């Protein structure tokens, strides 16, 4: 059975119906790039989130042997709170078959 990988992003409290979503600075369109299910955005593709770096990775960076060049997608939501524009940077979480 082939399961489509999707990514979930939980919205902060207070995000109403008027908001904008950006992935890596590129505006996303509802219905095409993502769907909103309650307080969660569900993207139609997998977004990567670089996890914590282990001690070997830190040591190699400290010694100048390697850097951190892993894929890391950023999700920003722009919305209004009390008439002021607010930007929330959110962490994607991968979900199979959402």
Tell me whether residue 41 is exposed, middle or buried, using C-beta atoms within 10 angstroms of its C-beta: 0 to 12, 13 to 18, 19 or more: buried
Condensed to tens digits (0 to 9), the pLDDT of residues 29-40 reads: 999 999 999 999
Tokens of 58: 């830190």
* SS3 labels along 81-93: ECCEEEEEEECCE
Give the H or E element holding residue 23. Answer: strand 19-23
- Helix or strand or coil: residue 55? helix
Q: Give the pLDDT confidence score for residue 39 in this predicted structure.
A: 94
Question: What is the mean predicted confidence (pLDDT) over 80-94?
Answer: 87
Per the listing, tokens 């890596």 go with 24
Query: How far, in Å, CA of 53 to CA of 44, rounded?
Result: 27
Condensed to tens digits (0 to 9), the pLDDT of residues 39-69 reads: 999 998 888 655 555 676 656 666 766 655 5
């Amino acid at each position: 059975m082939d399961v489509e990988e999707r990514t979930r992003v939980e919205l902060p409290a207070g995000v109403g119906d008027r908001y904008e979503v950006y992935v890596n600075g590129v505006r996303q369109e509802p219905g095409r790039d993502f769907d909103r299910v309650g307080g969660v955005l569900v993207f139609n593709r997998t977004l990567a989130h670089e996890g914590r770096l282990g001690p070997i990775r830190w040591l190699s960076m400290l010694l100048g042997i390697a850097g951190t060049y892993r894929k890391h997608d950023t999700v920003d939501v722009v919305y209004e709170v009390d008439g002021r524009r607010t930007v929330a940077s959110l962490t994607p979480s991968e979900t199979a078959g959402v």
